[in-house]
Amino acid sequence: MASWEGVSEFVAVAETGSFTRAAQRLATSVANVSRRIALLEERLGVKLLLRTTRKVSLTEAGQVYYQQCRALLEGLEQAELTVTQMQQTPKGKLKVTAPVTYGEQKIAPLLHDFLLQHPQLELEFVLTNQKLDLIEQGVDVAVRLGQLGDSSFIARRLSNRNLYVCATPHYLAQYGTPHTLSELTQHSCLVGTHDHWRFKENQQSRAIRVRGRVHCASGVVLLDAALKDMGLVQLPDYYVEAHLASGRLVEVLPAYRDEREGVWALYPQNRHLSPKVRLLVDYLAQHLSAPSMPL
């Protein structure tokens, strides 16, 4: 097995760009990673990595060696996975990330129910509106909302979300109900991260600039302002659906509601879909697929 020594450490450094992050991924020390790679380079008689005080990069030989080693490690992972799949009980740690509010309201309860069904699983749930580097952070599944950019990750659509423009009955009684997009200029709008709201008119997407007294990147804050009769708000369904159902909020401009946005599960394609990840993604898709509100 001497020929395998240092290979896992080298691949980890190549993919993370850091000896420290590679050590964290492999649950070992930086010194051990450095020592094993040095022995690997000595055995091969070639320099694989270029180390500076600011970064680590691959040499030309390192690039070639990485591509070959990655394929070999994936084959080894597949062999181990085949044996593991014989055991139908998922076990080990799952690391999942999701946007804060959607994660709190929609994903966390489902994750808890999933853990209750699989007592040998552990969960690390990272709530953040930042898009984490799945490889570097060791994330098994990322829940993402809206349009996805170009990515080397595998994406599975779990569900959809809708954007609603709404206000309280009291606000609408006082200032009137808008029936066209041009009427938005006559209203106080509660503005979030972007000062343009999305609509669909004549089968074309439109972005309308809005203005108002309240500007905040938090949907929770904007919802509170809307419920206090302070203006119109455009928010995803999971913020407002209960208030629309109870009548505390009323949807306006429904004919211009933009098409559904996707809710996605992302996971790295260079990792074989382990039973625990496959079961989780299937579970989320099953329980998120049915819309909670009629369209």
Last residue within a domain, chosen from 86, 111, 131? 86
- Domain count for the chain, please give it: 3
Q: Which amino acid is at 186?
A: Q
Do 251 and 239 share a structural domain? yes
Regions of the chain where pLDDT drops below 50: 1, 86, 290-295
Give pLDDT, residue 293. Answer: 38
172 and 240 inside one domain: yes
- Which residue type is seen at 68? Q
Where b means 16+ CB within 10 Å and e means fewer, 60-79 reads eebeebbeebeeebeeeeee
Same domain? 32 vs 143: no
pLDDT, position 294: 36
Q: pLDDT tens digits, residue range 142-200?
A: 999 887 765 678 889 998 888 999 999 999 999 999 999 999 999 999 999 888 998 98
Pairing mode, strands 121-127 and 92-98 = parallel
Q: Is residue 1 part of a domain?
A: no
Model-level pTM? Answer: 0.59
CA 218 to chain centre: 18
Q: Is residue 134 part of a domain?
A: yes
- Structural domain includes residue 2: no
CATH number of the domain that residue 226 is part of: 3.40.190.10
Listed in sequence order, the residues at least 6 apart from 290 whose beta carbon sits closer than 8 Å to its beta carbon are none
Domain identity same for 49 and 122 = no
User: 49 and 178 share a domain?
Assistant: no
Q: How many secondary structure helices (H) and strands (E) does the chain include?
A: 11, 13
User: Please, which residues have CB within 8 angstroms of residue 171's CB and are 6 or more apart in sequence?
Assistant: 226, 229, 230, 231, 232
Q: Is residue 26 a contact partner of residue 12, using CB atoms and an 8 Å limit? A: yes
- Single residue among 52, 86, 120 that ends a domain in this structure: 86
Domain coverage including residue 189: 163-256
Query: How many whole angstroms separate alpha carbon 144 and alpha carbon 261?
Result: 10
The pLDDT value recorded for residue 103 is: 93
Q: Is residue 76 part of a domain?
A: yes
Q: How far apart are CA 295 and CA 286, in angstroms?
A: 19
Per the CB < 8 A criterion, the answer to whether 135 and 13 are in contact is no
| Cα-Cα end-to-end distance for the chain | 60
